[in-house]
């Protein structure tokens, strides 16, 4: 379930690990230089860069450099998936307003006996209270479990690419916009049919033992600028969970491609930064653009 793991860890981190803007940091040692992939869409008077991000990162990765930095510096505007509220309590309030179950069914009772046992063990291992989450819908527990292990593994939210880019944009006086609202992103999970919410939770629980290894592998592909390998890692679970993939990935990619097509009608230079999983594999943003007759060209270092 690598694709579900990537979506869970990436999107949950973006929504749950909010810490506001970050200060500029000195460049880390050059020994850990990353060269993530970058694409360009261009016409006579508009240039749009497509950059795949990771929402959490370990210290010492030097990625905001070279072609990525040059493209960002030359852009008038930064576009992110969402603009996080500076106050984390705002995000928490929105999430909790949608997290509580309205039908009176305990979360544990929605699971099979085997899944329930694994879920409770996972919650205990990550210090999450089962009784409190029993009042919530499964998607919320899935997101909490996706995020809980990250800090232990050394990943930090304030090193996430979006936070670094937004901080740099604000400092440079660039306009910052978003493709989606916080409420929209939360509702991608909160409005899933209950069957899919349970599938999402079970997939997250099942993926926890391999989380560190698989997440690290996905990040290595990102560091190396290898979306092909990233996409291959994701394709199996796309086929195994087509309903979830459609809601959390492919449908959003199609919507963003339509936004890009419309935005190309306005002159300027735009740097669009979205989760790297959206720019790799079947149904990627680039694939969706191709169906609209728009070519996204890879920029090599």
Q: Which of 98-107, 110-119, 234-243, 288-297 shows the lowest per-residue confidence on average (mean pLDDT)?
A: 234-243
- By three-state DSSP, how is residue 224 classified? coil
Q: What gap in Å lies between CA 152 and CA 126, rounded to an integer? A: 10
Strands 268-275 and 297-299: unpaired
pLDDT for residue 240 is more than 70? no
- pTM of the full predicted structure? 0.90
d(CA 19, CA 157): 7
- pLDDT value, residue 234: 67
Count the helix, strand and coil residues of the chain and give each as a percent rounded to the nearest 5: 55, 15, 30
Residue 221 has a pLDDT of 93
- In this predicted structure, what is the pLDDT of residue 244? 79
Task: Determine the Cα–Cα distance for residues 162 and 278; give it in Å rounded to an integer.
Answer: 14
In this predicted structure, what is the pLDDT of residue 207? 85
Q: Compute the distance between CA of residue 77 and CA of residue 275 in angstroms, rounded to an integer.
A: 18
Percent share of the chain, pLDDT over 90: 60
The pLDDT tens digits for 260-301 are 999 999 999 999 999 998 999 889 999 999 999 999 999 986
What SS3 class is residue 269? strand
pLDDT, tens digit, 9 for 90 and up, residues 187-211: 988 999 999 899 889 988 988 998 8
pLDDT at 256 over 90: yes
What average pLDDT does range 72-76 have in this prediction? 98
**Among the listed residues 42, 14, 8, the one whose alpha carbon sits nearest the alpha carbon of residue 296:** 42
**pLDDT band of 112, cuts 50, 70, 90:** very high
CA-based R_g, the chain, Å = 19
Mean pLDDT over each residue of the chain, to the nearest integer: 87
Which stretches of the chain are assigned E, i.e. beta strand?
A: 38-42, 46-53, 77-80, 175-178, 268-275, 297-299
Distance CA(52)–CA(285), nearest Å, equals: 11
- Rounded to whole angstroms, the Cα distance separating 42 from 40 reads 6
Pairing of strands 297-299, 38-42: antiparallel
pLDDT at 21 over 50: no
If pLDDT is split at 50, 70 and 90, which confidence band does 40 have?
A: very high
- Residue 50 scores a pLDDT above 90: yes
């Amino acid at each position: 379930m690598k694709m579900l793991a990537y979506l869970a860890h990436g999107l949950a981190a973006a929504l749950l690990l909010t810490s506001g803007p970050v200060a500029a940091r000195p460049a880390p040692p050059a020994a850990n230089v990353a060269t993530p992939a970058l694409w360009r869409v261009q016409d006579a008077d508009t240039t749009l860069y497509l950059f795949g991000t990771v929402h959490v990162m370990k210290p010492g990765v030097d990625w905001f450099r070279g072609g990525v930095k040059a493209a960002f510096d030359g852009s008038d505007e930064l576009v992110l998936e969402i603009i996080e509220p500076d106050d984390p309590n705002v995000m928490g309030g929105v999430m909790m307003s949608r997290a509580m179950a309205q039908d009176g069914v305990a979360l544990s009772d929605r699971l099979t006996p085997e899944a329930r046992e694994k879920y409770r063990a996972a919650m205990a291992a990550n210090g999450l209270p089962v009784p409190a989450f029993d009042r919530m819908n499964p998607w919320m527990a899935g997101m909490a479990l996706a995020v809980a292990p990250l800090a232990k593994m050394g990943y930090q939210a304030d090193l996430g690419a979006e936070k670094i880019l937004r901080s740099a944009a604000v400092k440079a006086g660039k306009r910052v916009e978003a493709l989606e609202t916080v409420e929209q992103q939360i509702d991608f999970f909160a409005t899933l049919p209950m069957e899919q919410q349970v599938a999402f939770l079970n997939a997250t629980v099942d993926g926890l033992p391999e989380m560190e290894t698989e997440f690290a592998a996905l990040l290595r592909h990102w560091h190396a600028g290898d979306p092909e390998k990233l996409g291959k890692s994701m394709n199996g679970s796309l086929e195994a969970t087509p309903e979830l993939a459609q809601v959390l990935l492919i449908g959003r990619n199609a919507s963003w491609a339509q936004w890009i097509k419309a935005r190309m009608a306005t002159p300027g230079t735009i740097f669009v930064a979205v989760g790297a999983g959206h720019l790799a594999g079947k149904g990627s943003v680039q694939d969706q653009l191709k169906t609209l007759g728009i070519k996204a060209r890879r920029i090599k270092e």
